[in-house]
Structures are given as C-alpha cells and as structure tokens.
Amino acid sequence: MPIRTAVVPLDAIFDLRWSVLRPGLPAETARFAEDAWEGAFHVAAHGAAGSAEDAVLGCGSFYPEPFPGPGGPPGPAYRIRGMASAAAARGRGYGAAVLAAGTAEARRRGARALWCNGRTGARGFYEHHGYRTYGEEFTIEGVGPHYVFARELLD
C-alpha cells in the first residue's frame, strides 16, 4: 500500500505525537515552544486515501535550529522533534516516509544538515538513514535515554 506524506498544520499530527511520545501525560507536554517558530513545519504520513490506513500513522516536526556545539555537520540545519509512528504502523515505512519528506522540505528551505535528540532505541533507524551519533548517550528526564544524531545533506 502506498504511503502518502504531506506538510500539514500541527493540529493534524498532534494527537499521534502526544499518544506515542507522551502517553499518560497532559497534552501540553507534547507541545513544543519550537512549534511557533518561523520556518517550522510538520509532516504527516498516511496510507491510501479511503482505506483503513487513511489516518495519520507517522509524523515528525522540523525546526530551523543550528546543530548544538562544535563538531557537527556544517551549514544551516533543521532539528527533528516529535518523530512518531502509530503502533500498528511500526516497521512498515511510515517513519522512513516522514523522514524522507521532511528531509526534502528542509533541503528546499535551505538546510544543509538535519539533527535530533533521538531515543536510544531508534539508533538503528537513524543510522540506517545516514545519521551518525555525536557525543555520549544522555537521559532526558521523564522521557528516557537519547543520543544526538545528525547527517549532512549532500548535493
């Protein structure tokens, strides 16, 4: 089944972001200050129109933000936050589709690099898509262990 992606308003992806990344926590914990930034955008992934998978099954948000600290990829960067896939969609390409669509849009907006604080459990996913780790594992209180992942966007 083909996966459709689109740049959408925050409201279109918010419920999935909240339910997957902040389960059992108040909705405001899934709202990020960066959502209001100039240049921020959100990507949704859906299954075929009119099918049972027409709902948002994957999402991610992208923010114009420099790589934190020295040693990362050069140039203007976008930060990825709120990457999530519905439980029923995991391992079926929805996250990869969000990442590909977000990468294309960030590149169109002038990004030369992408980075994120990704969950340790997602390391294989990011490395499979050309990201590398920077620094040591760290813990985000109430969320869990993470790494900084980044990749340069080559021409």
Cα atoms in the Cβ-side hemisphere of radius 13 Å centred on 136: 2
- pLDDT reported for residue 91: 87
Tell me how far apart the alpha carbons of residues 6 and 18 are, in angstroms, rounded to a whole number. Answer: 19
Counting DSSP H helices and E strands in the chain, the numbers are 3, 7
What are residue 59's DSSP bridge partners? 44, 84
Domains of the chain and any CATH numbers: 4-152 (3.40.630.30)
Tell me how far apart the alpha carbons of residues 120 and 138 are, in angstroms, rounded to a whole number. Answer: 9
> Is 35 within 8 Å of 61 (Cβ atoms)?
yes
- pLDDT reported for residue 2: 83
Work out the number of other CB atoms within 10 angstroms of the CB of residue 110.
13
DSSP label at residue 24: T
Q: Could you say which residues of the chain have pLDDT below 70?
A: 1, 48-53, 155
Which of 127, 129, 153 has the alpha carbon at shortest distance from 72? 153
pLDDT digits (tens, 9 = 90+) for 89-113: 888 899 999 999 999 999 999 999 9
Retrieve residue 38's tokens: 């100039």
Regarding beta strands 77-85 and 113-119, do their DSSP bridges make them parallel or antiparallel, or are they unpaired?
parallel
- pLDDT reported for residue 155: 66
Q: What pTM, to 2 d.p., does this model score?
A: 0.91
- pLDDT reported for residue 144: 86
Tell me how far apart the alpha carbons of residues 121 and 6 are, in angstroms, rounded to a whole number. Answer: 26
Instruction: Render 3-26 in DSSP notation, one character per residue.
Output: PEEEEE-HHHHHHHHHHHHSTTS-
- pLDDT reported for residue 53: 62
